[in-house]
């Protein structure tokens, strides 16, 4: 009889594993209402002050958020500093160009929140809300951010290096990265609209503007005048690796649909940007968002909400870090 009971218990446990709600279903927009009543106000004050002081913060935080979520999930693993025993995500080659302002706005918010409600708010939630606030400040959509994420317990550079999309990848490779995580091609194109703000380092596209081929100095998919402008702007990139250009040449400080309008004109900085107009799977969405900013904002809001719930941690799978750059 004992064997029968144990077998039944095992089967019941296995069945519960399959019907248990995902970690994201534990999240709510009111998670800190009782435990940290000033959470929203502190986040708003911090992000506003930081953006005013450093106008590149919005683009920096948005990129940091994407790079965090696509690897281990939205768990602030990108914020962890390396140690002699572990090379963390932020030190993967693909992440070395992440701007410091994105990290700094999280540190500032965490410091203020630890004074108001110690040990309550996760770094993962801080990054998610900071990104939303900053996108909205730049004129973009205000979307819901569910709260209650815990901070991840793993951060490895090797994971980031092989998971994050690179500008030199084929469209097939980039699409696979997103679809393997449950995102449609349309959602991928909407999320790529984040390039309407922020900048790219010259080293990320130098092979497209210098000595491109035997017959052309630059990739012919560029607008020729734009390519020459990029060549001039990036002339000293080997001596100065921090040299960068805005992703959106027309309205770099506004979150709008100009990014999509630029692409058919050959005004996309990265090869992966320009490829969006050349692939039959992605072109219709570029054309849609170029002519209809409202459609872009709605699609971006839905897609980034979905991204913000990807791979979130709860319970023993995470923690509330005392410092965002180190595990407890």
E strands in the chain: 199-201, 244-246
Counting other chains too, the contacts that 228-232 makes at CB distance below 8 Å and 24 or more residues apart are: 230/202, 230/205, 230/269
* Tokens linked to 37: 């009543």
Q: Which of 211, 215, 188, 146 is nearest to 272 (CA)?
A: 188
C-alpha 137/C-alpha 131 separation (Å) is 10
Q: Which of 287, 245, 293 is nearest to 139 (CA)?
A: 293
* Tokens linked to 261: 């309008």
Please, which residues have CB within 8 angstroms of residue 53's CB and are 6 or more apart in sequence?
Answer: none
Q: Which of 73, 178, 187, 86 is nearest to 128 (CA)?
A: 73
Is 195 marked active-site?
Answer: no
The CA-based angle 275-240-200, given to 5 degrees, is 25
* Tokens linked to 2: 């004992």
Catalytic residue among 26, 67, 195, 201: 67
**Exposed / middle / buried, residue 28 (Cβ in 10 Å: 0-12, 13-18, 19+):** exposed
C-alpha 226/C-alpha 215 separation (Å) is 18
Give the active site residues: 67
């Amino acid at each position: 009889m004992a064997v029968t009971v144990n077998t039944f218990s095992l089967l019941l446990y296995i069945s519960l594993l399959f019907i248990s709600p995902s970690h994201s279903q534990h999240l709510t927009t009111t998670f800190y209402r009782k435990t940290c009543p000033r959470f929203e106000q502190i986040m708003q004050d911090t992000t506003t002050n930081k953006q005013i002081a450093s106008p590149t913060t919005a683009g920096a935080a948005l990129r940091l958020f994407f790079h965090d979520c696509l690897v281990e999930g939205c768990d602030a693993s990108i914020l962890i500093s390396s140690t002699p025993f572990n090379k963390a995500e932020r030190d993967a080659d693909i992440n070395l160009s992440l701007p410091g302002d994105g990290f700094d706005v999280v540190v500032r918010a965490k410091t203020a929140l630890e004074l108001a409600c110690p040990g309550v708010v996760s770094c993962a939630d801080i990054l998610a809300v900071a990104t939303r606030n900053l996108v909205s400040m730049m004129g973009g959509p205000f979307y819901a951010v569910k709260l209650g994420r815990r901070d991840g317990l793993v951060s490895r550079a090797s994971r980031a290096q092989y998971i994050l999309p690179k500008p030199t990848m084929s469209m097939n490779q980039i699409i696979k990265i997103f679809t393997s995580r449950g995102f449609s091609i349309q959602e991928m194109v909407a999320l790529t609209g984040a390039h309407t703000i922020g900048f790219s380092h010259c080293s990320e596209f130098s092979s497209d503007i210098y000595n491109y081929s035997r017959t052309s100095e630059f990739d012919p998919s560029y607008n020729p005048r734009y390519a020459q402008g990029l060549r001039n702007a990036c002339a000293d990139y080997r001596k100065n690796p921090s040299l960068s250009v805005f992703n959106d040449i027309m309205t770099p400080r506004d979150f709008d649909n100009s990014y999509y309008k630029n692409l058919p004109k050959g005004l996309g900085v990265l090869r992966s940007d320009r490829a969006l107009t050349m692939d039959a799977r992605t072109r219709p969405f570029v054309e849609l968002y170029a002519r209809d900013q409202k459609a872009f904002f709605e699609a971006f809001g839905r897609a980034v909400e979905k991204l913000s719930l990807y791979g979130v941690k709860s319970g023993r799978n995470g923690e509330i870090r005392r410092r965002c750059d180190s595990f407890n």
